[in-house]
Amino acid sequence: MRIAYGVMGYGRGHAMRTATVLPHLMEQHDVRVFASADAYKVLAPQFPTTEIPLFRYHYGASGRYSLRKTVARNLKPIADLLFQMDGMQALMNEFARFRPDVVISDSEAWTLRAAEAMGIPTISFDHVGVIAHCEPHFPWELRTAGLRDAMGYRYLMGQPDRILISSFYPATPKDARTRVIGPLMRDEVLGVVPTQGEHLLAYFNKGKHLFRPRVEEALRKCDRPVIVYGTDRRGQDDNLLFKAPANAEFVRDLASAKAVVGTSGNQLAGEAIHFGKPMLALPEDAFEQRLNAYMVERMGVGMRRSLARLHVRDIEDFLAMSPFMRNNMDEHRRNGRAEAQQWLDTYLAELAVHRTRSVITPAVNGWMAQTA
């Protein structure tokens, strides 16, 4: 089969999940990746990848996520997506050339919408689907935001034919087309044996906006070495060591850390639990991250605190509780990699029987850029 695989490019988690299953898929199928921003940078050196647009998050002067700016500055791409303007037409032309039998999407709306318009079967495989395609499991303080984001996600992503959700916490699917599996452990993670070091590993998805002065001050005062990923800074600065993104080195630093401090992405939480590292979750001002932080605390494998109000006392309290949290790790340690391969194979076989196709004559290539 020919598979088009769309990957959302905000942060690296989507790309990490995708890179874990691509080798398996490429053993049996002709796969082309369509990715944006961070995901494109991660995947293009390894796999046939075409660059596509991204809905970008925007931040205010304080460094906090700004819904107003995000909506205002994405009006044009949203209109393009919904009304099949130049960008969507360019992607549909690429699909017409490649002629995919199935489209798989990791939180990537453009590829799902193009597939829907062209009558190509679709599989959604991500973590965010847990808020839209599973029974509501939100705390009361997040319930309104959760229902709002679930509705928005369904509106942008349409109605995939099959849904696979990778989550570090369990959830109950709403219907038979949906399956929930554990987080996917990549080869770099499975190849490292954890040790107990003295340093903290700090990771910030968008450090330019999220590594705020208050966070830096708290980490400087915590009286232990801290390895920081996700910022533009490099090198040693007192007890802080700033490093550039590097998969293998990041995994080694995580596996040897005393604990993890950082934004609460699904992939990071899953890998922290795998290595038995308690997590001080500092969620971005977005529902999925806030829900992840809530679940980290509820499962007893970490604590949640505010990025905007972090104090060194929060880190001290977290470290004091970390022995208790380590005792809870075995109960929640999961690797959904084998399940992901199994369910993707099953879904692809099912959709191969029922697939339909619309053919669109190729036109201009637009904003597309491909690597071999």
Whether 315 has a pLDDT exceeding 80, the answer reads yes
Phi, psi torsion values for 303, nearest 5 degrees: -130, 160
- Mean pLDDT, rounded, for 91-108: 96
Residue recorded with tokens 């990848």: 49
Query: What is the percentage of the chain residues whose pLDDT exceeds 90?
Result: 78
Whether 22 has a pLDDT exceeding 60, the answer reads yes
Q: Which CATH architecture has domain 2-184+335-371?
A: 3-Layer(aba) Sandwich (3.40)
Whether 53 has a pLDDT exceeding 90, the answer reads no
- Mean pLDDT, rounded, for 48-66: 72
- Mean pLDDT, rounded, for 299-314: 97
Assign domain 188-332 one CATH number from 3.40.50.970, 3.40.50.300, 3.40.50.2000, 3.90.1150.10.
3.40.50.2000
- Mean pLDDT, rounded, for 25-39: 96
How many angstroms separate the CA atoms of 276 and 321, rounded? 14
Whether 369 has a pLDDT exceeding 70, the answer reads no
Whether 63 has a pLDDT exceeding 70, the answer reads no
Give the global pTM. 0.90
Q: Assign residue 339 a region: left if phi > 0, alpha if psi is -120 to 50, beta otherwise? A: alpha
For the chain, give every domain's residue range.
2-184+335-371, 188-332
Residue 172 has a pLDDT of: 97
pLDDT bucket at 370, cuts 50 / 70 / 90: very low
Q: What digits encode the pLDDT tens for the residues 203-247?
A: 998 777 789 999 999 999 999 999 999 999 999 999 999 999 898
* Pairing of the two strands 162-166 and 178-181: parallel
Residue 67 has a pLDDT of: 64
Whether 358 has a pLDDT exceeding 80, the answer reads no
- Mean pLDDT, rounded, for 50-69: 68
Phi, psi torsion values for 348, nearest 5 degrees: -60, -40
Sheet containing 279-281: order of strands: 235-237, 240-243, 226-229, 200-203, 259-262, 279-281, 302-304
Q: What digits encode the pLDDT tens for the residues 142-168?
A: 999 999 999 989 988 999 999 999 999
Residue 360 has a pLDDT of: 35
Residue 167 has a pLDDT of: 98
Residue 226 has a pLDDT of: 99
CA geometry: angle 116, 122, 128, nearest 5 deg: 105
Phi, psi torsion values for 281, nearest 5 degrees: -85, 125
Name residue 31's amino acid: V
- Both tokens assigned to 268: 């990071």
Whether 61 has a pLDDT exceeding 70, the answer reads no
In the Cβ-directed half-sphere of 251, how many Cα atoms lie within 13 Å? 16
- Mean pLDDT, rounded, for 85-93: 89
Name residue 325's amino acid: M
Whether 59 has a pLDDT exceeding 70, the answer reads no
Same fold, 2-184+335-371 and 188-332: yes
Whether 178 has a pLDDT exceeding 60, the answer reads yes
Residue 355 has a pLDDT of: 62
- Mean pLDDT, rounded, for 2-12: 92
Measured from the Cβ of residue 211, the count of other Cβ atoms closer than 10 Å reads 25
Lowest mean pLDDT, pick from 9-13, 113-117, 122-126: 9-13
Residue 56 has a pLDDT of: 66
Contact between 88 and 108 under an 8 Å Cβ cutoff? The reply is: no
Whether 27 has a pLDDT exceeding 80, the answer reads yes
Residue 8 has a pLDDT of: 94
pLDDT bucket at 359, cuts 50 / 70 / 90: very low
Residue 208 has a pLDDT of: 77
More confidently predicted of 330 and 13: 330
More confidently predicted of 21 and 11: 21
Residue 185 has a pLDDT of: 97
